[in-house]
Structure 1
Amino acid sequence: MTNTRSRILTTLGLTAALLLCAPASAQVRIGQPSGFTGSVAAGVKENTDGAKLYFDAVNARGGVNGQKIELLSVDDRFDPKVTVEVARELITQQKVIALFLNRGTPHAQALLPLLAEYQVPLVGPSTGAMVLHEPVNPWVFNVRATYQREAAKAIEHLASIGITRIAVLQTDDSFGADSAAGAQKGFDQVGQKPLLLIKFPREKPDFAPLAKEIAAAQAQAVMVIGSAGNTANAVKALRAAGSRAQVVTLSNNASAGFIQLLGEHARGVIVTQVFPNERRIASPLIKEARELAKAKGLDSVSPAMMEGYAAAKVLVEGLRRAGPSPTPRTLRDALENISNFDIGGLTVSYSSTNHTGLDFADLSIIDGSGRFRR
């Protein structure tokens, strides 16, 4: 126990120092246990960069109700057990008043007992897991559509362009099961069945034999449900097996880092999206984020950055409504009373019976220049 505690405290100190340059005068602490290393690291970094765009702008204006925001970002190595360990330390030792923007369905599920135990809200989890939406958890406030909505929309799109032989390749965990259930809703809607439904382990999967099976079945399209690293490796295995199937994946992979992992195989991959086109300056949300990014010397924003940015806007609004001395309970109550809050062309509402926040879903395709196109 002593060694575990020492390791967690070291992780907290090093990660907070290396990943985040928080203002010394910060008074409101927010904890982010997420996978800054491992197969989701690229997307997690972009999520966090997006959130920091907004937090830094708010802090530069004096903070919320005169208090600046400090984001403590801690690496959970994309391991649900570590997620709980470091989150507990964030709550009990670092005294954060909320957890924020953690990545992963099993990881968010693992946090649920902790949220109830310490009565601390989780805002903007970077997952579209249905379990975080239904039944409504009083401590979880989502700021994005569900994976099931995304997956169903993607299947319906493939069917609309005449594709009938669709395979589903899913990670064998709660994220995979949840997203596959959404895909099945899409199949039911268009009167089809999956050509193949294949599961793979989240840790160190071997895609070569699975890709050969898919190629032999002559799949026209493959929905890959997995982390960025695993999905990229699956695509490479499919191409090595001779499959030219259309690949579609979900918004957890909507990051520039994912495109880099795909390398020469990026072009043509369809990725579902849960926020407006990151280059659509007609969207007030996008225009605002792009201007802040430009001021920081960044060329653009990515979909993953927009997820973090939107989540940060919702959290800050909750803090504003919670008053000058926010507690986990007053923040929770303030968030639940948000109604028709305009984050920039999209409105967020919560109630005691609905903690979904947004239901926007769209499709994009990676073009030859390595960008998402809508």
Structure 2
Amino acid sequence: MHMWKSVLALTASLMALAPVHAQIKIGQTAGFTGPVAAGVRDMTAGATLYFDTINSRGGIDGQRLELVSLDDQFQPPLAAKNAKTLAADPKVVALFLSRGTPQTQAMLPVLEQSKIALVAPLTGAAVLRKPVQPYVFNVRASSSREAQRAIEHLMGVGVSRIAVVTPEDSSGLDALAGANAGFEAGHIKPVFAGQFNQQKPEFGSTVEALKKVEPQAILFVGSAQAVAGGTALIRAAGLQAQIVTLSNNASKGFIDLMASNAHGTIIAQVFPNERAISSPLIKEVLEFAKAAHVENITPALVEGFADAKVLVEAIRRAGRAPNRASVLAALNGMAAYDLGGLRINYSTSDHTGLDFVDLSIVDSTGRLRR
């Protein structure tokens, strides 16, 4: 188990301002090592950028924020154990930025027992949205909506022979449901739909099946390592189908793992283009990043930044001495909060978050274009 007090040293000046003992603690468990490490580190860097900048401006009512992060290696049992460890510290007012559907589901009993909110889990699973999980506050759009949007785009540009490859867990089922909604709207069926074990991905039989149907495009849902490894096998088999994946892979680390196979990959996005200065949110990200000398702005960093902004707003609204109960109440009362051109609407009956979905494509230089 590794403790990550700050994933990136944004600047020497900001690090110098970080408190030795924070007055407000935020707990995080996520896969800093393992198959999703690249995306986790990018997102946590975005959150750290926001927290550190708020601290440099005096914190919240003079109180500084500390993000305490534990590595769960993308393993559900370890995620639950880490959540219990974090919740045992009464100074931790909320949990934040978990990664993965089974991992977040494993944390639910801890949330219930400790009566602590989890803000911005990186999962689009329906099981964490409907019915409402009282302690889980989603920010990103659902994976079902992402998958549906991807299929609609492919059909809109004349692609009809589409395969779908998803994990055999609840996140995969949600993505498949969204894809099927897109297929039904377009009155077509996938040429192939296969599943794999997310923890131990093996694609031999999947690649053989894909060779037989020769799809034009493959909606490939899974961790960065799984999608990159599976794509390498698909290309080695001589298939040139366009790879389409979801926003959990919108990171530089994923593009690096894809290597020469990255060019032309379509990746769904759940926040505006990181270069869209017309977006108030992106303008703020760029301003904070410039001040901290952060140059590599990725979609994952933007998401982490936005997630941190939601949590900080809840802590601000929780009073001068924020605690778990007051942060939870503040979240449930956060109606029509302007995140920067995007509105968050939480209530006791709705913890959905945003519905924004866009698409990007990796160009020949390894950059995402929209």
| TM-score, normalized by the shorter chain, greater than 0.5 | yes
Does structure 2 retain, via aligned residues, the 8 Å contact 1:152–1:186? Answer: yes
Q: Residue 286 of structure 2 aligns with which residue?
A: 290
2:102 matched to 1:114? no
Q: In structure 2, what is the equivalent of residue 59 of structure 1?
A: 55
Contact map agreement 2:5 2:69 (CA 8 A) in 1? no
In the other structure, the counterpart of 2:209 is 213
Moved more, 66-75 or 295-304: 295-304
Q: CA deviation at 1:159?
A: 1.0
Is the counterpart of residue 279 in structure 1 residue 267 in structure 2? Answer: no
- Which residue pairs with 1:7 in the alignment? none
Q: What corresponds to 1:15 in structure 2?
A: 3
Say which of 336, 342, 346 aligns to 1:340.
336
Percent of aligned pairs sharing the same letter: 51
SS of residue paired to 1:97: strand
Alignment of structure 1 residues 213-362 onto 2, 5 Å: 213-362=209-358
- Output the TM-score relative to the length of structure 2: 0.95
1:12-45 deviation line (CA, Å, top 9, x unaligned): xx41357476521411111000000001000000
Q: Show the counterpart of 1:34.
A: 30
CA shift digits 1:340-362 (9 cap, x unpaired): 21121111111122111211001
Question: Is 2:162 the counterpart of 1:166?
Answer: yes
The answer as to whether partners of 1:269 and 1:366 remain within 8 angstroms in 2 is: yes
* 1:360 partner SS: coil
Instruction: In structure 2, list runs of 5 or more residues that go unmatched.
Output: 9-14
Matches of 2:6 and 2:121, distance apart in 1: 22
State the distance in 1 between where 2:321 and 2:206 align: 54
Matches within 5 A, 1:359-374: 359-374=355-370
Q: Following superposition of structure 1 onto structure 2, how do residues 61-210 of structure 1 map, counting pairs within 5 Å?
A: 61-93=57-89, 95-210=91-206
Indicate if the aligned counterparts of 2:80 and 2:110 stay in contact, CA closer than 8 A. Answer: yes
| Deviations, residues 161-206 of structure 1 (Å, cap 9, x unaligned) | 1111111111112211121111111111111111111111112322
Moved more, 281-290 or 304-313: 281-290
CA distance in 2, matches of 1:34, 1:45: 9
Relative distance call for 1:277 and 1:262 in structure 2 (3 A) is same
Equivalent-residue separation in structure 2 for 1:292 and 1:212 (angstroms) = 48
Q: Does structure 1 conserve the Cα–Cα contact (< 8 Å) formed by 2:5 and 2:66?
A: no
State the 4+ residue runs in structure 1 displaced beyond 6 angstroms: none
* Equivalent-residue separation in structure 1 for 2:362 and 2:5 (angstroms): 34
2:23, 2:91 within 8 Å by CA — same for their partners in 1? no
TM-score (norm 1): 0.94
